[in-house]
Structure 1
Amino acid sequence: MRTVFHEKLDELTGQLAKLCGQAGLSMKSATQALLDADLAAAEQVISDHDQMGALRATAEQAAFALLALQQPVAGDLRVVFSAIQIIGDVERMDALAVHVAKIARLRYPDHVVYGEVSDCFADMGRLAVELGESARQVLLTPDPAAAARLREEDNAMDDLYRRLFGLLMSPTWQHGVPAAVDTALLGRFYERFADHAVEVGRRVIFVATGTLPAEEDISTY
């Protein structure tokens, strides 16, 4: 009976990793839509969110079934409880990619970002994809040290966010108020994507150690 239970736990972990991978791919395509004014890419991200919803529902059902039918305790309970939390974080990561895609679609056929701002978003997009992949990997190989390194990638995203606002506040900004509003919103979407990836890492640390680290302490593991 315990063998079957742990097989189900492994399946659930695989589902979570798949969700992370999907979120990373969504942000990659959303960034392409943003930088290239690619309407097809934007539409694909938006429509694929329904698939993410279906994956989330399947993972949630599996987690709740383990709670109801197996009544896990100790470490196993931490795994299931954390899985439920992670499902929400990863779904939110995908939703943030959808927000990026919707702004790209709204402004089509015009580009949303230009020049140095475009370069900044290219860097933020690459980092977001790396964060999604890192989160996927730490779920598959639950190493608290690797999970803690997500904070370092998040710090890099925060640096880019500050750089972006430096461009917005510069007296040389020439793109007008609507573009500034779009840029500020988009920057927030990428920054929050990174924050949710860090939350995945915190939950992996909790599973491994039994202690949920404070957000500022995650890099010490």
Structure 2
Amino acid sequence: MREVFHQALEDIQTRLVEIAELVTVAIDKATIAFETGDVSLAEEVIADDARIDELALSVDELAIDTLAMQQPVARDLRIIVSALRTSASLERMGDLAEHIAQLARSRFPERAIPKGLKSTFVKMGKLDVSVARTLVELLRTQDLAFAAQIRDADDLIDELHATVYEKVLSEAFSGDVGHVIDAALASRYHERFGDHAVSIAKKIVYLATGDWTGSTDPEIAAADERTSHFGV
């Protein structure tokens, strides 16, 4: 029975990594579409979100079946519950990439980025893509050093998010109401994307160390025994 349980956990981990990889592709394409006004790229992101939703649902179904058949307790139960929550966060990250793509599509043939904010959104986009790629490695390896990188990148995203609001609310901003709304929404989507990645990272850290604060101190990470099966 333990072999069956471990196989189920391996399958769950594999599917979570696959979803994270699709999310990475989605946010990469969405940010490019938002920056360049590439409506074809935006349409690809919107269409491909269904695949992310489908895979997230398959993870949930597998996790629930495992709960029902194996009836795990203690740490094993926490692993399954964390997988369910991770799946939900990844699905939401896919939705946020889709929202950014929808903004790009709605403004076509113009670009959605208001004047004076291009460099800020380019930086936010690159950070979100970096966060997504790092999250793939964290889910694949459970190496807590990746969790620290996600946290640090999210801090930078938060700082950029604050500057967007400062700029659009300043008297010097020349955009109209539509530009203000677009900038505020896009900035919020970028910021929430990073937050969901941090939430997943905290779950991985907790499973590895028992520390729910999300600490990724190098000494803790070095002491952690690296294992597979989604943190078992």
Task: Kindly provide the CA deviation profile for residues 47-102 of structure 1, in whole angstroms up to 9, marking residues without a partner as x.
Answer: 11111111011111111111111112232222111000101111000101111111
The Cα offsets for residues 168-204 of structure 1, whole Å up to 9 and x where unpaired, read as 2333211222101110110000000000000000110
- In the other structure, the counterpart of 1:201 is 201
Give the whole-Å Cα distance in 2 for the aligned partners of 1:75 and 1:219.
Answer: 20
Q: How does 1:89-108 map to 2 (within 5 A)?
A: 89-108=89-108
Matched residue, 2:154: 154
Distance in 1 (CA, whole Å) between partners of 2:38 and 2:179 is: 18
In the superposition, the TM-score normalised over structure 2's length comes to 0.88
Query: Whole-Å Cα distance in 1 between the matches of residues 211 and 62 of structure 2?
Result: 24
* Matched residue type, 2:168: L
Q: What pairs up with 1:100-139 in 2 under 5 angstroms?
A: 100-139=100-139
Q: Which amino acid aligns with 1:79?
A: I
How far, CA to CA, are the matches of 1:194 and 1:114 in structure 2? Answer: 22
1:175 and 2:175 are equivalent in the alignment:
yes
CA distance in structure 2 between the partners assigned to 1:110 and 1:145 by the alignment: 41
Name 1:190's counterpart in structure 2: 190
Whether the aligned pair in 2 keeps the contact of 1:15 and 1:59 (CA below 8 Å) is yes
Q: How many residues align?
A: 218
The residue number in structure 1 matching 2:223 is: none
Superposition pairs for residues 3-42 of structure 1, below 5 Å?
3-42=3-42
Give the letter for the 1:50 counterpart. Answer: A
CA distance, structure 2, for counterparts of residue 151 and residue 51 of structure 1? 27
The percentage of counterpart residues that share the same residue type is: 33
**What is the DSSP-based 3-state SS (H/G/I as helix, E as strand, rest coil) of the residue aligned with 1:156?**
helix
Q: For structure 1, which runs of at least 5 residues remain unmatched after alignment?
A: none
Task: Report the alpha carbon displacement of residue 218 of structure 1 after superposing the two structures with TM.
Answer: 4.0
Structure number with higher helix proportion: 1
Q: What are the residue-to-residue correspondences of 1:21-100 with 2, within 5 Å? A: 21-100=21-100
Secondary structure of 2:190's aligned partner:
helix
- CA RMSD across the alignment: 1.6
